Amino acid sequence: MARYVYDFHEGGRDMAGLLGGKGSNLAEMTRLGLPVPPGFTITTEACRAFLDTGGEPAGMAREVSAHLADVESAAGRRLGQPGDPLLLSVRSGARFSMPGMMETILDIGLNDESVLGLAKVSGSERFAWDSYRRLVQMFGSTVMGVGSSHFERALALLKEACGAPDDVHLGADDLARLVETYKDIIRTETGESFPQSPAEQLRRAVLAVFESWNGERARLYRRREHIADDLGTAVNVQRMVFGNLGSDSGSGVAFTRDPATGRPGPYGDYLPDAQGEDVVAGIRNTVPLAELERLDPRAYRELRAHMATLEQHYRDLCDIEFTIERGRLWMLQTRVGKRTAEAAFAIAAELADEGLITPDEGLARVSGEGLARLMFPRFDTSATDVALAHGLPASPGAAVGAAVFDSAEAVRRTAAGEKVVLVRQATTPDDLPGMIAAQAVLTSRGGKTSHAAVVARGMGKVCVCGAEDLSVDLEARRLIAPDGTVVEEGTVLSVDGSAGAVYPGSVPLVASAVMRFLEAGATGDAAGGPAAATETAGKETPGVVDAVARALNRADAVRRLEVRANADTPEDAVRARRFGAQGVGLCRTEHMFLGERRKLVEQMILAGTDAQRDRALAALLPLQREDFTGILEAMDGLPVTIRLLDPPLHEFLPDHTELAVRIATAQARGGLPAAHDVELLTAVTRMHEENPMLGLRGVRLGLVVPGLVAMQVRAIGEAVARRLSAGGDPKAEIMVPLVGDVRELRIVREEVRRVLAEVSQASGVRVDCPVGTMIELPRAALTAGRIAEEAEFFSFGTNDLTQTTWGFSRDDVEAEFFSAYLDKGVFPVSPFETLDRDGVGRLVDIAVAEGRATRPGLKIGVCGEHGGDPDSVHFFHTAGLDYVSCSPFRVPVARLEAGRATLEGTDASDSR
């Protein structure tokens, strides 16, 4: 029979799937001999069973009782024992951390009797009644479903009646009265009494935590973080320790390194005479952790020793929650801490320097997503713009948006296309939708470990918190800066999460130090190592630039996949090369037909005779040749895959409605419409297609428009000949789009051979280009073995392959209904963003296997958008592709991820 409960002594960090992150780490700390209040963990399996059946799994209650008995006997007292009650906390803890998203219930075991016992043994009646009212409130709202506003209103009324400015000024009697009021509220709202039985409190609290897995907040968070919905949460039941027993008590959060910058050394917040929840809630402002050294040197020394133990043991940045109960330190939580992208790179490099991890482990711990974030621009404050206020730099980056003062407004304005900054005194989990919608979060209260800071960092969202100088007036929907400036809702603010500053208006942006480094073209060995990288970056943030350079160097050294760029112009090709691209994987020739040149394509389409068409094509030829020459020069020595024209021709003609209106207007004015307009309208009408994406495009164009393939191939061939004559090393490859059958490719290939032979003869230079095809239709993938008879290389066009495999119109569906699909969990992320491994991925696997069976060693790449997506890069590595090709800006990301993909399944990747 399944086992549902594990004592902290029995678990360990490798059991996170079953015990959740929190439970497995509590077990690990217990095993390390750290002072963890005793307790046990109810597994995620129990939660899943409960959510599946709606009932408590058989045997769970018995196991809970047995483990509770152990905790009781270790404590020498029973749960809720009237004279000296053992109290418990019940906390959620999923496989992946979801800060504040699920429920916590504290002080389980208090009732009308044991509250008196607690008052006696603690020596504080006020403390006992305050604990009891917290329990009734939390239990009432979380377990019994009473709206928390009922309790908040009762508390506010009481404070008003007593003339108390805040909770601290309420006495024991007041709180005792409040407990009665709370109990009445529960009775009125639910028809049930607050349960006096400690065992019942425990049982119902556990089930409520299970249920909170499916709460709205938790679901939203999971969707955003791509956490699977079927994991379930574990529940940790633990003896309560109290940080609110007076000035020799307190609670805090500590990091072994700064999670915002990665700088080594202890870092954190402490709140004397407070429960842990008060620290995170950001209600009272905390003091820096260093202050604890003065307040309680012994506890501080002990904490520092435990922090060192944990960092050595986990070989990574750890974050820790602790409580000091009357001078005694208790460790309540640890985990490998979330960090900003900047900190991730810096810490990986430093830990490798310290010898705690290998360079490969360092590489496994950074990510392409993080690198992309570091490439974002920062504010240019050189001409500053005096800051409106300063707060804590809680989550780095630069963001500009209109100030809004609640979550709903943030969501509303964002949906209407506006960029917003969410301003709050402090955020709560209810603010999550607004935080997701906003460009940045700004709070006037709370430390770097407050809810706003933790959640924003997790999302990679810009955040400044604890800007105490700002007075945030939520009612009036405005804030007032220290200099008296009033910022009404809708006023634009610039928030610098790296410096912790807020500016009025929109501050201009400059490239980040990492971007400047990459732009300088310091790639791989060319970087000359970290020293050169630091120099390149200037003084701004040498640490992070150096760390990025090292990670990229390592990735380049270990990766098997080559990385090319999608580039249509010589400028893009030059930039791509600086970013480390090893060639052009896709040059979309249609992009060369825009602007003035559109007219020439128009003439080609409208041509009534062969001679007219030939003239139009002849005019296009030199322009194309110039473009190709430029790109081949920029990529000299590296492959350049040039794709023949792909889109339907009517994309080059004016819009039907526009033309019709123009003609109708001319007629309405009594004149004659322009003959050219009439001619165009006829052509547009003739060429109209209901489903142009499935119509006359790709190779089909080449087969039906006489002279088109020949013109493009001639331009490519002549460009190659020119570069060869100039002493260059051009490596052009000709790629045919949207092939579905080998015969299509055969016809085009014969034409390519014929034209290249002509070019060779005419120029006197032997021009030879491999001819390959895109695999972007299911039929192409399924007949790849035949297609490889004619194709000298394959390149997966995963944009079209996704479109045609799913039957999703790539131009429509994302805006139309993807948000509903994401909401309903059909997929966690758009298949146009991250490759759908089960469907499209299977076609890729088939095509790779069958293509190479026909033509061993067949070169295969991908040039759809997925080529720069981290998760997809890992798939392409495993699928055995030779290269990925992506937009120039994503080249560094793809290099990094290609390196990380090589480490997958090795010790390095398992190190976390």
CA distances from 399 to 239, 440, 651 (A): 43, 6, 36
Q: Which stretch binds ligand PEP (CB under 6 A): 82-90, 629-637, 796-804, 889-897?
A: 796-804
Q: Does 730 bind Mg ion (CB under 5 A)?
A: no
How buried is 32 (Cβ within 10 angstroms: 0-12 exposed, 13-18 middle, 19+ buried)? middle
Q: How far is the CB of 588 from ligand PEP (least distance, A)?
A: 5
Sheet-wide strand order for 398-404: 389-390, 501-504, 492-496, 398-404, 420-424, 440-443, 462-465, 392-395
| Cβ distance to Mg ion smaller for residue 590 or 776 | 776
740 near Mg ion, judged by CB under 5 A: no
Residue 586 near which of ligand PEP, Mg ion, none (CB within 5-8 Å, type-dependent): ligand PEP
Element (H, E) at 478: strand 478-480
Nearer to Mg ion, 733 or 800 (CB): 800
CB 467 within 8 A of CB 442: yes
589 binding ligand PEP? (CB under 6 A): no
How many whole angstroms separate alpha carbon 628 and alpha carbon 636?
A: 12
Among 588, 598, 700, 779, binds ligand PEP (CB under 6 A): 588
The count of other CB atoms within 10 Å of the CB of residue 355 is 7
The burial of 641, by beta-carbon neighbours within 10 Å (0-12 exposed, 13-18 middle, 19 or more buried), is given as: buried
- Minimum CB separation of residue 648 from ligand PEP in Å reads 11
Contact call for residue 739 and ligand PEP (CB under 6 A): no
By the rule CB under 5 A, 851 interacts with Mg ion: no
Overall size of the chain counted in residues: 912
Does 590 help bind Mg ion (rule: CB under 5 A)?
Answer: no
Binds ligand PEP by CB under 6 A, chosen from 245, 289, 732, 863: 863
341 binds, among ligand PEP, Mg ion, none (CB under 5 to 8 A by kind): none
Closest CA to 538 of 554, 515, 558, 555: 515
Among 276, 249, 243, 241, which residue's Cα sits nearest to residue 86? 241
Q: Residue 696: count other Cβ atoms within 10 Å of its Cβ.
A: 16
Residue 705 to residue 698: CA distance in whole angstroms: 11
Question: Smallest distance from the beta carbon of 646 to ligand PEP, in angstroms?
Answer: 6
Q: Which is nearer to ligand PEP, 15 or 587 (CB)?
A: 587
Comparing CB distances to ligand PEP, the nearer of 39 and 864 is 864
| Residues tagged active-site | 451, 863
Cα distances (angstroms) measured from residue 884 to each of 98, 660, 698:
33, 44, 21
Residue 285 as a binder of ligand PEP (CB under 6 A): the answer is no
Q: How far is the CB of 769 from ligand PEP (least distance, A)?
A: 19
Strands (E) located in 497-538:
501-504, 509-510
In angstroms, give the least distance from the CB of 896 to ligand PEP: 22
Contacts of Mg ion in 180-209 (CB under 5 A): none
Residues 786-825, mask of contacts with Mg ion (x by CB under 5 A): -----------x--x-------------------------
Task: Report what 572 binds from ligand PEP, Mg ion, none; CB cut-off 5-8 Å by kind.
Answer: none
Q: Is 830 one of the binding residues for ligand PEP (CB under 6 A)?
A: no
Q: To the nearest 10°, report the CA torsion of 620, 623, 624, 629.
A: 160
Q: How many whole angstroms from its chain centre is CA 321?
A: 25
- Residues 776-795 interacting with ligand PEP (rule: CB under 6 A): 776
Nearer to Mg ion, 41 or 804 (CB): 804
From the list 211, 236, 202, 196, the residue with the least C-alpha distance to 61 is 202
11 touching Mg ion, by CB under 5 A: no
Select from 316, 325, 800, 869 the one that contacts ligand PEP (CB under 6 A): 800
User: Strand 859-862 vs strand 39-42: parallel, antiparallel, or unpaired?
Assistant: unpaired
Nearer to Mg ion, 23 or 698 (CB): 698
Location of structure tokens 């030829």: 621
Residues 642-701 touching ligand PEP, rule: CB under 6 A, are 646
Angle (CA) 114 115 119, round 5°: 115
* 104 or 803: CB nearest Mg ion: 803
Could you say which residues in the range 743-782 bind Mg ion, by CB under 5 A? 776
Among 334, 443, 798, 804, binds ligand PEP (CB under 6 A): 798
In the list 586, 709, 781, 886, the residue contacting ligand PEP (rule: CB under 6 A) is 586
Residue 869 interacts with ligand PEP (CB under 6 A): yes or no: no
E strands in 276-397: 287-288, 318-325, 328-336, 378-379, 389-390, 392-395
Task: Give Cβ neighbours of residue 157 (< 8 Å, ≥ 6 apart).
Answer: none
* Interface with ligand PEP, residue 844, by CB under 6 A: no
Amino acid 535 reads E
We find the least distance from the C-beta atom of residue 887 to ligand PEP, in angstroms, to be 11
| Minimum CB–partner distance for residue 572 and ligand PEP (Å) | 15
Which of 439, 589 has the CB closer to ligand PEP?
589
Question: Can you give the binding site for Mg ion, defined by CB under 5 A?
Answer: 776, 797, 800
Question: Can you give the binding site for ligand PEP, defined by CB under 6 A?
Answer: 586, 588, 646, 776, 797-800, 863-864
